[in-house]
Each structure stands twice: as C-alpha cells, then as structure tokens.
Amino acid sequence: MRRRGPIFLAQLVFTLFVCAFLVVPVILSMLAGLTVNYFVGIQSGLTLRWVGEVWSGYRDTIFLSIGIALACLACTLVLGVPTAYVLARRQNALARALEELLVMPVAVPGLATALALIVTYGAVGGFRTSWVFILVGHVLFTLPFMVRSVLAVLMAIDLKSLEEGAASLGASFRQRFFHIVLPNCRSGILAGALMVVTLSMGEFNMTWLLHTPFNKTLPVGLADAYASLRLEIASAYTLVFFLVIIPLLVALQVLSQPPRTKSRAKQE
C-alpha cells in the first residue's frame, strides 16, 4: 500500500483491461437489446420492442428455469448437507473415495452424463418428457458444489469437540445435528446455495439434450434465439437473462458477505 510505483500502475491497467474484456460485451449486448437497429447503431433510437417480444414469446423458459433452480437447491440441501457431515466425520480412505465419486459429474462432461441418462431412462415416457428429467441432471451436476462448500466449513471448525461437548451434556444426535452442526456450517450452506442456484440457472451442456420442446429452460431458449433470431432479439433475451440472474447473484452474495469480511478483518 505504501509504494505505488510503476508496478502497481501496470497491474492496475492490466486488471482494468481484464475487467473491460468481461464487462464490455455485456454492456454492448444489453444496449443491442434496446436499440432499434444495432447495425445502424444507437442513433437509430432506443426501444423496448425487442424485450416485449422476448417476454411474450419466451417467458415460460424463465419461470421453468427459476422453478428448476429452486427445486435443485432443495434437493442438494437434503442430499448434500448430510453427505458433507458424514464425510467430515469419517476421514478415511472410504470417505475420500466417496468424495471423489461424488465430484465425478462435474469432471465428466455434461454431454456424456446427459447421453447416459437418455440411454438409460429415455424410454420411460412420462419421466423423459417431464421437467424432473432436467432436474435430475442439474442435481447431479450441482450436488458436489454443495457438498464441498459445506465440507470445507465443517473441516475448518473443531466439529468433534463441539459434538462431544454437546453429547456429554446429553444432546441426542438429532439435537446435535440441528443445533450444533447446521448453525456452524451456515456460511458453507449459503456459499453452496449460491453456486447451486446460479449453476442450475445457467446449465446448458446437459439441458440441451435432456429438454423437450415443451420444457425449454432459459439457456435453451437463448440458444434457440442465437441460432435463429435477429441480433436485437437475441440481445434482448440475453438482457432478460441478466435481469433474472443479477438480483439473484447480488442477494446471495450479500447473504454470504458477513463471514467473508470478518475473516478478512481478522487478517488485517
């Protein structure tokens, strides 16, 4: 902080350049979605016409994506938090192997997982055509993020002494789990939830193969729009996606803020 020489400046310029690389296309695409004619440029005027067309044509995809993301969050909480707890309690080769196994759906490309699901359950009519089929893929893909996030917090605290202390006072397993374990891993659950919801909202690799024409999620609709519609509508659709995802991101980031600033303050 004391010496802000040329090195600081060079790093700052570099970082600003990286920021521009990430942010400029976002701003341009947002503008394109509000411009009457992008080829002519912004001087052709601003309009909400494209956003309106997207809303009337594609709003189902938005609601489906939000629904799947929330259902996915519920599933990963129910399946993931107990799993993380068990993995934290049992630090042996078997637990490590299980963790390795659980992370596989992230390592294995979504395309492969989706094909595997289709060749196995594709013939189960009602399942194949329902949104639950997409949900299954999303849960597989996001579960490791919840498990790892909770596990990281559980490993950082002295879980054993906390639980032994509670047990010696006569707390049952259920009491310990709900009153000791869960409150202690709140920050991990929040961070995991952030990842799960955002990843589910944006999942495309699997969803493109799992969806049916009646179950289009937001990213699937976007791919359709990019392939077949004019740039302005595609941009307006992207704008709608940003509008859905950004409040979600901000809300979840604010929720997960306190522990982070605390640990930062401690270091300084």
DSSP for 103-165, written as a single string: HHHHHS-HHHHHHHHHHHHTT-HHHHTSHHHHHHHHHHHHHHHHHHHHHHHHHHTTHHHHHHH
CB of 103: closest distance to another protein in angstroms? 8
Of 21 and 125, CB closest to another protein: 21
CB of 48: closest distance to another protein in angstroms? 20
226 binds another protein (CB under 8 A): yes
Of 32 and 73, CB closest to another protein: 32
Q: Give the DSSP letter of residue 214.
A: T
Residue count at the site for another protein (CB under 8 A)? 82
Binding mask 135-154 for another protein (x = CB under 8 A): -x--xx--x-----------
The torsion defined by the Cα of 104, 108, 111 and 115, in degrees rounded to 10, comes to -60
26 binds another protein (CB under 8 A): yes
Q: Cβ neighbours of residue 152 under 8 Å, at least 6 residues apart?
A: 188
Which of 257, 237, 251, 234 is closest to 38 using CA atoms?
234
Q: Are 105 and 169 in contact (CB under 8 A)?
A: no
**Binding to another protein in span 183-212, by CB under 8 A:** 198-199, 201-205, 208-209
**Position among 35, 61, 83, 215 found at the interface with another protein (CB under 8 A):** 83
Q: Which stretch binds another protein (CB under 8 A): 43-51, 55-63, 153-161, 235-243?
A: 235-243
93 binds another protein (CB under 8 A): no
CA distances to 27, 202, 209, 224, 237 from 229, rounded to whole Å, are: 20, 20, 21, 8, 10
What's the rounded Cα separation, in Å, for the pair 73 and 146? 9
23 binds another protein (CB under 8 A): yes
Cα radius of gyration (the chain) = 23
Identify the sign of the CA torsion 76, 238, 117, 114. negative
**Binding to another protein in span 94-133, by CB under 8 A:** 98, 100-113, 115-117, 119-121
**Position among 11, 44, 175, 212 found at the interface with another protein (CB under 8 A):** 11
**Position among 43, 92, 123, 264 found at the interface with another protein (CB under 8 A):** 264
Q: Are 130 and 215 in contact (CB under 8 A)?
A: yes
CB of 268: closest distance to another protein in angstroms? 9
Q: Which stretch binds another protein (CB under 8 A): 46-54, 153-161, 182-190, 260-268?
A: 260-268
**Position among 42, 74, 78, 124 found at the interface with another protein (CB under 8 A):** 78
Residue type, 124: V
**Binding to another protein in span 41-60, by CB under 8 A:** none
